Amino acid sequence: MNYKFLIYISYSYAIPIGSPLEKEIIERGYTVKWFSDIEDGKLALNDKNNVLNHIEEVISYKPDIVLTITNNVADFISGIKVQIFHGFFTQKRPSKNNMKFSHFRIRGFFDLYCTQGPSTTRIFKKLANNHSYFEAVETGWSKVDPLFPIVKRNKEAIPTVMIASTFTQRLSLAYNDSVFNEIKRLIDTAQFNFVMVLHPKMPQNIVNKWKSLNGEKFTFYDTTNLVPVFKKADIMFADTTSAIQEFLLQKKPVVTFNHTFKHDYLIGIENANEIEAAFKYALTYPKKIIDNIEKFILDLHPYFDGKSSKRIIDASISFLIKDKSYLKKKPLNLIRKFKIRKQLKHFTLKSSGSTLVVILIFGYLFTSSLCSADIKYSLII
C-alpha cells in the first residue's frame, strides 16, 4: 500500500527533524508532503518541491499519517496524528513535578507519541494509561539519526569549542557582555577554534554582535541543522539550550554557564573568568564526567544506530492499521480547535458539520471574554 504522509511543522528548526523522516518515507516508496501552519516554517520550506502551501491542499491530499513536529495540529485533517517532538526534555526551570513541563503537556490532538527514550517514555506511558485516547511508543528521535556513527576526536588538532545559546534572555549566555569579552580574548590566544550557533528566534542585534567575531578561529553558523556543527566540536559551551542533550549523545563534555540545575554530567560555571579553565578541564574528558554522561544518555536516548526514523515510520504504520476500538474519544478541546481554525482561516461547514457550529459559538464567547477561567479549562481538557 502507498501510504501518504504529511510532515506538519511551524518553525524552521523542525526541518532537520523532518528531513530524516522524509528520507525514510521516500526510500520505502511512500508519498510525503510538507506543510507549515505559520510563515517561519513556510519560508524554510521554499527549496522543497513537495510542499502544500494552503490548508485546502492539505485537506484534499488526505494523508494517512500526520507526523507533527510542533505542539498542535489541525484536527480536521485526515489521518492519525503522531507527535514527533521538536526537542528533548531540557529541564530549564525548576519544578517538583515533571508533568508541569511543556514537554509533557497533553494537548488533546495526538493519537500516538513517539518517545525519545526511557526518561520520556515512562511519563507518556502513564499519561496514556490515564487518558486512554492515545498510545506512546519508544522509537528514538529522528533529528539525531545523522549524528551516527560518531566521528572520533582528533586529539592532535587545535581543539574546537561549540558555543550554543537559548533565546530566553535571562537564561542566555549570548546576552552576557563578560562572556562575549572572554571569548573574544580567548580567540586572540589561539588556543581554541570556536564554532557557534544561536537559536533562530535570537534578536538580530545579538546575532550581529557574535558574528563580528568571525575570523580564522571563530565561525558563526546561521543554521538550524546542528549535527554537522556538533561533529566539528570537541566540547560544547552552553547555557540551558536544548542543544546540550543532542550534543551529549556524542559522549563529549559540555561546559554550562549559569545552568538552572547542577547536573553531574555537566561542567557548570557561573563566572566568565572561569571559562578558560573549564574548557581545559573538559578537554581532558574526565572519566567521572564521561561516565555520568553515558548513564544520562542511556535514559535520554539509548539509540546509537541512526535508525530512529525507521522505528518512527514502523510505529506509525503499525498504529494506523491496528484495531483502535479500545481507545476513548479525544476531548472536545474547543479553545485550541478554535484557535487553529482562526490561525488557518478555515471555518468551512463542509468539513466540520455540527461540531463547527459549537466551535464558532464558543469562539465568539471566548474572544468576547465571556467565559470564566473554570469553563475554559474544562473545555480544553
Q: What is the pLDDT of residue 380?
A: 40
Domain shared by 315 and 362, yes or no: no
DSSP letter for 51, please. Answer: B
Domain shared by 59 and 120, yes or no: yes
> 86, exposed or middle or buried, with CB in 10 Å at 0-12, 13-18, 19+?
buried
Closest by CA to 380, choosing from 107, 76, 70, 99, is 107
Closest by CA to 338, choosing from 357, 313, 353, is 357
Q: What is the pLDDT of residue 366?
A: 52
Distance CA 32, CA 3 (A): 9
Instruction: Give the strands of the sheet with 135-138, arranged side by side.
Output: 31-36, 4-9, 65-69, 80-83, 112-115, 135-138
Closest by CA to 19, choosing from 265, 247, 223, is 223
Distance CA 268, CA 285 (A): 15
Distance CA 293, CA 264 (A): 8
Domain shared by 177 and 293, yes or no: yes
User: Within 13 Å of residue 158, how many CA atoms lie on the same side as its CB?
Assistant: 12
- Note whether 142 and 310 are within 8 A (CB): no
Cell of 113: 507519541
pLDDT along the chain (381 residues), means of 10: 96 96 98 97 96 97 98 96 88 49 77 97 96 98 96 87 93 96 98 95 95 98 95 96 95 96 95 98 98 98 98 98 96 91 81 51 50 42 40
Domain shared by 281 and 318, yes or no: no
> Domain of 104: which CATH number?
3.40.50.2000
Domain shared by 43 and 60, yes or no: yes
Give one DSSP letter per residue of 257-279, joined into a string. Answer: ES-SS--TTSEEE-SGGGHHHHH
Q: What is the pLDDT of residue 98?
A: 44
Q: What is the pLDDT of residue 356?
A: 54
Angle at 114 between CA 302 and CA 249, to 5 degrees: 25
Domain shared by 71 and 170, yes or no: no
Distance CA 114, CA 353 (A): 31
Domain shared by 348 and 367, yes or no: yes
Q: What is the pLDDT of residue 94?
A: 52
Between the alpha carbon of residue 160 and those of residues 42, 153, 235, 279, the distances in Å are: 34, 10, 7, 10
Q: What is the pLDDT of residue 377?
A: 39
Q: How many domains does the chain have?
A: 3
- Domain extent for 380: 331-381
Domain shared by 199 and 295, yes or no: yes
- Note whether 13 and 167 are within 8 A (CB): no
Domain shared by 129 and 35, yes or no: yes
Distance CA 31, CA 33 (A): 7
Domain shared by 136 and 155, yes or no: no
SS3 content of the chain, % helix, strand, coil (to 5): 45, 15, 40
